[in-house]
Amino acid sequence: MRESSVRGERSRPRVRDAEALGWDETLYEGQGRGDEESEPRERGRRGGGGRRRAGGPRPPRRRRRILRWFATVLSVLILGTAGAGYLYYEHLNSKIKKDKLSLGDEKNRPAKAKANAAGQTPLNILLIGSDARDTKENQKLGGAKETFGAAPLADVQMLLHLSADRSNMSVISMPRDTLLQIPECTDPDTGQVFPASTGRLMTNQSLGRGGPGCTVATWEQLTDIHIDHFMMVDFAGVVSMADAVGGVPVCVTANISSRDRQGHGSGLKLEKGTTPVKGKQALQWLRTRYGFEDGSDIARAKAQHQYMNSLVRQLRANATLSNPTQLRRLAETATDALTVDEGLGTVGKLLALGNQLKEVSPKRITMTTMPFQYVGSRVEPKRGDAEKLFRLVREDIALDGKDKKKSTAEETSKDPAAADDEIGVQVQNGTRTATLDPVGGRANAVAQLLVGKGFTKAAADASVALTEDKTIVRYPSAELEGDAQAVAKSLGVPLSSVEKSTRVSGVTLVVGADWREGTAYEAKAEDDKSPKSAKLLNGANDKACMRVNPAFTW
């Protein structure tokens, strides 16, 4: 699966498709983002994703050349060139590397998000920064010779959520040393099966268990969020893309030199205040841990968020990338550095995605790090707060709290329910959380409760242990909607928690983490505000400045 589209199932775009994309005009540009530092025992680095679009009616000349903000949060740029034409389009297509979207069990993948009233659906894209030392350039930039040839690590992981109405975007980082159970994954190239971890591993190890599709499966298992695409980049791409925009302004509260006496650190050296960084210096910023705040991955993620927000503003504020030669070189580098899932495997698809992402104003971009708590020198998701953040994404609720109030009126199905004793109900245990094991026997206990209420065909399904933050009733087709609502009403489950899903074959009650004990279900009033521990950063905030650890000043 991990192959260039020139060897894969590349479909040759028709000439009119290339013209529709505007390849006879200067394309917009994007930019990449990397991360982490070279250390004797610790390695990491980052990448991002992004791309640009062109074509359509010509807007004013200045606007046409402004790198549409899309590259912002995707941190990887995708092309820009003048007069590229069909052949160049084909050439770039052949360079894009593709991999399978998910390497986990397809049957256990979360359901896709529901469409809103206008028929629009949100998009969830996982951005991955690989620390692979698989080329001479990446080895030179990443250092740590003892890691050459080792399995790559997903040292940057960010979930980008684009709202259904395309009005806002939320980005959630997960620290690379988060301890999680990694699901079973199968390498699409070799067929090697990596069994599910029996204990918890650092989440960045997921990439070495078959590829980026295993990182996707790990996120989906933790969050119950369906991920639509992934984008993965390496060191070299970050450096080249940073050069293209001529520098991204970053700020530090004091002079910083990220290097200790043992040689730990990224090598970043900046004076107090705001400095535009590009090339290798931009990579150093994104990889710096020693010198920022407490020297943790959390501080590093905060620096990455500041860089990405600054990049967005930079791309929207100026139009410096008008040199066709420079843009052509950038396009070559970006497609060399980029690995995507098969659903994004052509330049046309990437540009189409870029057209959607560029609609969001920086004022509606929210970046955060998953709420966490320390476990020794590692971290784990913070029970309650992390689950709440993931729920907001699942339900397409903006983290900035600026969504219009959604109707809470419950609609009763027009499909009449069968008699209670004729409704078959499977009861599943979904009481597992990121920090708690499932409650033993819970599905059976609630199934017996239903039998006592007249649903004599209710039975426990002991074959699965799911993660659901709230109790939910699923049904597969419209003719079973009334039956599903009847089950929900009998238990006091709100109708808003009844959903149609292709994941089930009949009416299925999943007992969630909100009902771990007792016989009476109490629906809690939903609070749709982001937890305080998330520490949100708004994309329009141009005053953010990284606090420097006094031990790393000069």
Vertex 218, ends 215 and 221: CA angle to 5°? 150
Strands (E), 253-381: 256-257, 269-270, 273-277, 339-341, 365-369, 372-375, 378-381
Strands (E), 361-447: 365-369, 372-375, 378-381, 425-429
What does the alpha-carbon distance between residue 124 and residue 228 come to, in Å, rounded to a whole number? 5
Q: What is the pLDDT of residue 379?
A: 93
pTM here is 0.69
Tell me how crowded residue 485 is: count the other CB atoms within 10 A of its CB. 22
What does the alpha-carbon distance between residue 139 and residue 133 come to, in Å, rounded to a whole number? 5
From the candidate CATH numbers 3.30.420.40, 3.40.50.10090, 3.40.630.190, 3.40.50.170, the one assigned to the domain spanning 106-403: 3.40.630.190
Q: What is the pLDDT of residue 443?
A: 95
Q: What is the pLDDT of residue 27?
A: 30
Q: What percent of the chain has pLDDT over 70?
A: 74
Token pair listed for 240: 């080249």
**H runs (alpha helix) in 99-167:** 136-142
Dihedrals φ, ψ of 379, to 5°? -135, 165
Q: Please provide the average confidence, as pLDDT, over all residues in the chain.
A: 79
Dihedrals φ, ψ of 408, to 5°? -105, 5
Q: What is the pLDDT of residue 46?
A: 35
Strands 193-194 and 185-186: antiparallel
Question: How many alpha carbons lie under 13 Å from residue 529 in its C-beta half-sphere?
Answer: 6
- Quick: pLDDT tens for 23-55: 333 333 333 333 344 333 333 333 333 333 444
Q: What is the pLDDT of residue 258?
A: 94
Tell me whether residue 119 is exposed, middle or buried, using C-beta atoms within 10 angstroms of its C-beta: 0 to 12, 13 to 18, 19 or more: exposed
Q: What is the pLDDT of residue 3?
A: 45
Q: What is the mean pLDDT of residues 481-493?
A: 95
Inter-residue contact 129 to 156 (CB < 8 Å): yes
Residue that the structure tokens 């029970």 belong to: 383
Residue 291 has pLDDT above 90, yes or no: yes
Dihedral sign for Cα 277, 280, 286, 288, please: negative
Position 134 confidence tier, pLDDT thresholds 50, 70, 90: low
Q: Which class is 420-511 in CATH? A: alpha beta
Position 84 confidence tier, pLDDT thresholds 50, 70, 90: very low
Token pair listed for 347: 């330049």
How far, in whole angstroms, is CA 382 from its chain's centroid?
18
3-class SS string, 26-61: CCCCCCCCCCCCCCCCCCCCCCCECCCCCCCCCCCH
What does the alpha-carbon distance between residue 411 and residue 351 come to, in Å, rounded to a whole number? 39
Residue 456 has pLDDT above 50, yes or no: yes
Most confident of 31-45, 133-147, 505-519: 505-519
Residue that the structure tokens 């141009």 belong to: 542
Higher pLDDT residue, 210 or 348? 210
Question: How many alpha carbons lie under 13 Å from residue 81 in its C-beta half-sphere?
Answer: 21
CA dihedral 24, 73, 363, 305 (to 10 degrees): -150
Would you call 4 helix, strand, or coil by DSSP? strand
Nearest to 309 by CA among 366, 376, 230, 382: 366
Inter-residue contact 169 to 357 (CB < 8 Å): yes
Helix 212-223 to helix 385-394 angle (10° resolution) is: 100
What does the alpha-carbon distance between residue 462 and residue 126 come to, in Å, rounded to a whole number? 31
What does the alpha-carbon distance between residue 326 and residue 26 come to, in Å, rounded to a whole number? 12
What does the alpha-carbon distance between residue 537 and residue 310 come to, in Å, rounded to a whole number? 12
What does the alpha-carbon distance between residue 47 and residue 282 come to, in Å, rounded to a whole number? 11
Tell me how crowded residue 183 is: count the other CB atoms within 10 A of its CB. 22
Token pair listed for 13: 């775009």
Inter-residue contact 125 to 227 (CB < 8 Å): yes
Inter-residue contact 344 to 229 (CB < 8 Å): yes
- Quick: pLDDT tens for 236-247: 666 766 776 678
What does the alpha-carbon distance between residue 554 and residue 537 come to, in Å, rounded to a whole number? 28
What does the alpha-carbon distance between residue 272 and residue 131 come to, in Å, rounded to a whole number? 29
Q: What is the pLDDT of residue 387?
A: 86
Q: What is the mean pLDDT of residues 377-400?
A: 91
What does the alpha-carbon distance between residue 268 and residue 248 come to, in Å, rounded to a whole number? 15
Inter-residue contact 266 to 37 (CB < 8 Å): yes
Q: What is the pLDDT of residue 240?
A: 66
- Quick: pLDDT tens for 180-189: 999 999 999 9
Q: What is the DSSP code (8-state) at residue 338?
A: -
Residue 128 has pLDDT above 70, yes or no: yes
Q: What is the mean pLDDT of residues 449-459?
A: 96
What does the alpha-carbon distance between residue 110 and residue 336 come to, in Å, rounded to a whole number? 31
**Can 106-403 and 420-511 be said to share one CATH topology?**
no
Q: What is the pLDDT of residue 262?
A: 85
Q: Tell me the domain boundaries of the chain.
A: 106-403, 420-511
